[in-house]
Structure formats: structure tokens, C-alpha cells
A and B are shown apart, each in its own frame.
Chain A
Amino acid sequence: MGELAAFLILSAVILIPGVIVVTSRNIVRSALSLVPTFLGVTGFYIMLQAEFVAGIQVLIYAGAITVLILFVIMLTEGGSGVEVRQANEQVPLGATAALWLAFLMLLVVLRTPWSLSPGRPPAYSASAIGSAFLTNYALIFEVTSLVLLVVLIGAIVIARREE
């Protein structure tokens, strides 16, 4: 009962600002509306007993990504950033794609046999996540760091050209 109530409240916390993100004409408000959305997702992680992921979610998404987005908006728009058109003439195309995606996801959700097992989640996840990254998922982990390195170099190249 409590879990259902928490799920419904968190869904509202995620969805209402989510709608504002895509509809608001003020781009700073859109960016700020991302914060409650991210925090709501954190609530879901906590409900699933993934505390470590929840902490990282707040730290990285709410605390860093949003700030980065705001930072970029304020630097590029000369600080104002008001009145930006969010949609262009490709609305029908985008709507079709979104509908298809929603249809496919619904199909996946409905077709998947969600098996319920009485097992318990691991008690403490941080060290398990760490060893998984350096053993089973070492390749993915390393490739991700390579991608980040490429991004860093790209940013430096772009910044240098302007000088």
C-alpha cells in the first residue's frame, strides 16, 4: 500500500516537470524542471533498494548535468535565454516516431514475462558494482572511458580554434 502510494507520488513528481521540460517556452525553466524529474527517478532507485545508484543519480544528474546545461544556456544566450521555440516544422514526423516508440515499449512491457522470485537483492551494492565493472564488464567500462577521452579532446580542439 505504502509502496503503491510512493510509486504514484514519485510518478507525478517525474511526469509533471517532465511535461514542463518539453512544453515551457522558457529554456531555463525547462532546464530547472529537470531537477525534480531526476530526483523522482532517484526515489524509484531507492524503492528498488539500489541506494548507491540513487546517490550517484543525484550527484551526477541533478547536481552536475543540470548545472552544466544551465551553465551552457547562460553562456550562449547572453544570460537571458527567454522565449525559445521548442518545436520546429518537423512536429508530425517527431510525433509519429514518438508514437511508434511508445507502441514498441508497451509491446515489450506487455510481452515480457515478469517473473516474481522470492530472492532478496544484495545487501550492499557499492563494492559489488565496483568488482563487476573491473571483471565482467571491464571492456564496456574501458570503452566508456575512451569515449569520454575523445569528448575531452574534442572540447579542447573546439576551444583552441576560437583563440
Chain B
Amino acid sequence: MSTFVEILKAIGLAVLVFTFLAIVGAMYGVYFERKISGWIQARIGPKHVGPWGLLQTIADTLKLLQKEHITPRSADAMIFNTAPIIVAVAGLLDWVVIPFGTAFGRVLVVRDINIGIVYFSAMASLTVIGILAAGWSSNNKYALLGGLRSASQMISYEIPLALALLWAAMLAGTLSTVGIIEAQRGGWFLFKVPPFGLIAALVFLTAATAEVNRMPFDLPEAESELVAGYFVEYTGMRFALFQLGEYAEMFAMAAVASILFLGGWLEPSMPQWVWALLGLGALALAAFIRFSALREVLLVRPILALAALAAVLCGLMVLGIGLGRTPVLPSMLWFFVKMFGLVFFLMWMRWTYPRLRLDQLLGLSWKVLLPVGLLNLLITGFLLTVAR
């Protein structure tokens, strides 16, 4: 009987995680991407469908659902049709080990397995099979080139990524994601063993950006050289599945970065006056923008909204600490604040830096990130052993 309940629970959680991520991760990922790129390029971005263009992605998805599936005549049909599913499922499976917060004394995670981050990097590495299969089976030279570039890139960047994951695991003494967060109750790993925590976080973020094929490492889909790279032959919903996998993985990378280095769902423990100072600063910035001519400038306007949000957050914290509540805000809120902060950072990178050349890309991985990651691991291990 318990097996039956267990299977039902697994199916329910899978549906929950997959639908939640399909909506938030992919659809609103695309929306944020377009809004943020608009901001950085001093445009407005989508605004016609729904309030602030919020329904634009839903309209786009409906459009993609209606499109015809085209399988090129000389493509390997079976592999061609399976590849998008591999990419999407591998991207979504990352989320099994990611804890969203705590509620009613329980950790909100699909499964807290004792090899959490090994599982995460294993699932992240499966994506490349789908990409390679898509690139090869399309029978298109641009797709194949994109697939090959992606393979060499993802294999190279998996190693620094794993080294950064190992760094956090070494400090926490566990591979479980929940265990790593619990180990950060004393302080974020970002500031542990300075400056090595910062170095590890930088290595992780760089490798994660490359691993999800985003600018400035988006050579597999470089529009100006390869049309669209490995998914050039895909139409309709199959094309959307690649997007879904990509955004699901990007969000997962941001979530794991927040878990490893920013304490996941834990509330930052700072004294009341720091929160008050931060809140006042944000409020002053918001007021300055609101009551000056700057609010007409497209590049500045989003800062007003962000500063207002930050001021509200800090105000709530000051109030909560004043009332003597220990975790002032729900843990899930903190997790999403950190995750979306990192997602924003990744999008900011994308629209700021130009694309690297392939040899620069591989050189960065093997000649910079790999030695830095290894030395970081070695020195931190040495320091920890000496300190003990």
C-alpha cells in the first residue's frame, strides 16, 4: 500500500514541479528576458498583450502550439523527434533536489537525496545528449556545427562547475542540498574563507552561464553565424520545448547558485539598523528618481520599481525585527528573491557582453577556470584542515 501512495506522491510532485516550471520558468523567463533586454537597450519591450505585456508569452505559446510540426525529409525522424524531449526533461529533472523553503516544519523539496548536487550535475550533463542528437539528426550543417560546439563547450565547463560544487560540498561536509543550506546558518558560503568563497561563486556562475549556452557563451546558437544553431530545423512546440529546457536549466542554475553560496531559503541575519539604512537608501533613490526628470528616461525607470521593492522588503524586515519575530518573512520568499536576483544577473550579463570566439571560450575554461577552481579547492581544503 505504501508503495502505491509513494508512486502517487511522486506523480503528483512531478506534475506540480513540471507545470510550475513550465509556466514560471519558461513563459515568464521569456517575458523577463524581453523586458530586461528592452530596459538595457532603452526600449519598452512587450506591452500590448495584457497589462504591461504580461500575457505576451501566453499568446506566443498559443501561437507555437498551433504551428505545424515539420520533420525535414532527410532527417533521422526518430532521433529528431526525441531530442527536444530529452532537453526539456533533463532541464526539469534538475528541480527534484532544489529546496524552495520550509513550511510547517518541513523542507519543501521533492526529494532530499544524500547525493543532491551530484544528481544535479548529472542531470545538467544529460542535456548535451539532447542537443547533440538534435544537431546531428536535423541533417543540416548549421545544426550540426551548433551541436558540436555545444558538446565541446558543455564538456569543458562541466569540470569547473563540478569543482565549484565540490567547494561548497567540502565546506558543508555533505552533498545534500538541504544539508548545504543548513550548514550556512552561521553565514553565507559566499563570505566564508575570504576571498575563496567569492572565487568559487564566480567560477560557478561563469561555468553555469556557459553550461546553459547563454551569452556571452552562446556559440552553439550564435544567430549571426549559425542561424539558430542546433534547433534551426525545429518548428512549433518542439522549438518551444528547447526553450523550456533552456530556461528551466537556467533557473535551476540560479537556484543552485543561491543554495550553494547565498544560503538558499535562509533569511540574511543582519542587525535592524543595517536593514533600516538599506531601506532608507532604497527609498531615497526611488524618491529621487520619482521627483526628478529622470523618471522619463527609459534606462532609469525600471530602477524606480526595483528600488521601491527593495525599500518595501527592508521596511518589512525592520518592522519584523522590531516586533521580535525570528524568521521575519516566509522562507520561500527569500529563496525566490535570491533566485530571481541571480536570474536577473544572468540576463544582465547576456545583454551586456559580446560573444566569445570558440578558442577564447575553451581557453577560458581550461586555462583559467579549471586551474583557479582546483587551486581554490586545494587552498580552502588546506586552510580548513589547518584551522581544525
Pick from B3, B115, B129, B148: contact of A52, CB below 8 A.
Answer: B115
CB-defined contacts of A35 to chain B, threshold 8 Å: 129
By beta carbon, the residue of chain B nearest A73 is B136
Chain A, interface residues (CB within 8 Å), range: 20 to 34
* B369 lies within 8 A of chain A by Cβ: no
Q: Which residues of A61-79 have CB atoms within 8 Å of chain B's CB atoms?
A: 62-64, 66-68, 70-71, 74-75, 79
* B119 lies within 8 A of chain A by Cβ: yes
Q: A70-B136, A79-B144 are in contact. Are A58 and B115 (CB under 8 A)?
A: no
CB-defined contacts of A79 to chain B, threshold 8 Å: 136, 141, 144
A28 touches B136 (CB 8 A): yes
B125 touches A59 (CB 8 A): yes
A55 touches B115 (CB 8 A): yes
Pick from A58, A67, A75, A126: contact of B155, CB below 8 A.
Answer: A67
CA distance A30 to B262 in the complex (A): 43
CB-defined contacts of B383 to chain A, threshold 8 Å: none
Interface string of B96-140 (1 = CB under 8 A from A): 000000000000000001110011011101101100110011000
A68 touches B155 (CB 8 A): yes
CB-defined contacts of A67 to chain B, threshold 8 Å: 125, 128-129, 132, 151, 154-155
Chain B, interface residues (CB within 8 Å), range: 20 to 34
A75 touches B126 (CB 8 A): no
B79 touches A32 (CB 8 A): yes
CB-defined contacts of B137 to chain A, threshold 8 Å: 28
B126 touches A28 (CB 8 A): no
* A29 lies within 8 A of chain B by Cβ: yes
By beta carbon, the residue of chain B nearest A53 is B115
A63 touches B125 (CB 8 A): yes
CB-defined contacts of A126 to chain B, threshold 8 Å: 114-115, 118, 175
What 12 new A-B contacts, CB under 8 Å, besides A67-B129, A67-B154, A70-B132? A2-B3, A28-B137, A32-B129, A51-B115, A52-B118, A52-B175, A59-B118, A64-B125, A71-B155, A74-B136, A81-B136, A126-B118
5 of the cross-chain contacts (CB-CB < 8 Å) are A55-B119, A59-B118, A59-B122, A81-B136, A126-B114
Please list the 7 inter-chain residue pairs (A to B) with the smallest Cβ-Cβ separation, ordered nearest first.
A63-B125, A55-B118, A58-B122, A59-B122, A55-B115, A51-B115, A79-B144
